[in-house]
């Protein structure tokens, strides 16, 4: 509550300063200051809570995966890729979580943070698919659907970037999984269903 009050106070103060500066600079300066103030306020009031909530979700998921791994007593030698990718992604997510708490850094590197989070999620999806044992026709479809959902709803991409990211996510998953299944006996008849499964959210 107090953080929201401080943001509003800072927004009103910046608005007053920008209005005073624009009064001396003319109408164009006033319009630009209004646009900048609106973007700044929208960034902190709407996009910041979403990306923080997403980071909490994915960090919790990484911790849960590691906890399950060690609780089951699995062999480290058989899951080296898992033990490299998941802790690395967790460290990256935690570093971003710390940085987004700094307002100036968050505004400046918002697109970079979004791109890194998306890439880490996609990398984790391929890890689970390629090193999770036997590859099935529906392997990790739900996880990649989650990534597409995140791209459209929780990451601060514009519509064009969201469409590009979702198409890359779904198409790359379909291609890689189809190549893996083409070498698996008895799985080729399911490929036609797999081709269309991840595509719907991106359309």
| 103 domain residue, yes or no | no
Supply 81's token pair: 């890729």
| 105 domain residue, yes or no | no
The residue assigned the tokens 């900048």 is 36
Enclosing domain of residue 126:
110-203
pLDDT of residue 190: 54
Average pLDDT over residues 89-109: 88
Label residue 15 by pLDDT band (50, 70, 90).
Answer: low
| 93 domain residue, yes or no | no
| 128 domain residue, yes or no | yes
| 173 domain residue, yes or no | yes
More confident residue, 92 or 27: 92
Q: Between the ranges 44-58, 69-83, 122-136, 157-171, where is the mean pLDDT highest?
A: 157-171
| 164 domain residue, yes or no | yes
pLDDT of residue 164: 92
Is 174:128 a contact under the CB 8 Å cutoff?
no
| 143 domain residue, yes or no | yes
pLDDT of residue 7: 53
- Per the structure, the count of domains in the chain is 1
> What's the whole-number average pLDDT of the chain?
74
Cα–Cα dist 52/175, whole Å = 32
pLDDT at 153 > cutoff 60: yes
| 45 domain residue, yes or no | no
Cα–Cα dist 158/65, whole Å = 31
H helices present in 73-137, as ranges: 80-100, 103-108, 110-130
């Amino acid at each position: 509550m107090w953080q929201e009050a401080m943001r509003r106070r800072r927004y009103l103060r910046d608005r007053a300063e920008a209005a005073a500066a624009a009064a001396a600079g003319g109408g164009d300066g006033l319009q630009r200051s209004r646009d900048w103030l609106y973007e700044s306020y929208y960034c902190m009031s709407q996009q910041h809570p979403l990306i923080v909530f997403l980071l909490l979700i994915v960090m919790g998921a990484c911790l849960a995966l590691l906890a399950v791994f060690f609780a089951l007593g699995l062999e480290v030698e058989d899951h080296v890729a898992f033990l490299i990718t998941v802790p690395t992604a967790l460290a990256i997510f935690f570093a971003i979580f710390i940085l987004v708490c700094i307002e100036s850094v968050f505004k400046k590197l918002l697109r970079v943070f979004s791109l890194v989070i998306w890439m880490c999620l996609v990398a984790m999806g391929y890890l689970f698919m390629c090193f999770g044992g036997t590859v099935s026709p529906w392997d990790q479809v739900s996880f990649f659907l989650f990534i597409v959902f995140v791209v459209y709803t929780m990451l601060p991409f514009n519509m064009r970037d969201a469409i590009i990211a979702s198409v890359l996510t779904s198409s790359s998953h379909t291609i890689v999984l189809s190549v893996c299944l083409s070498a698996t006996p008895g799985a080729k008849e399911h490929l036609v269903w797999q081709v269309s499964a991840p595509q719907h959210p991106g359309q």
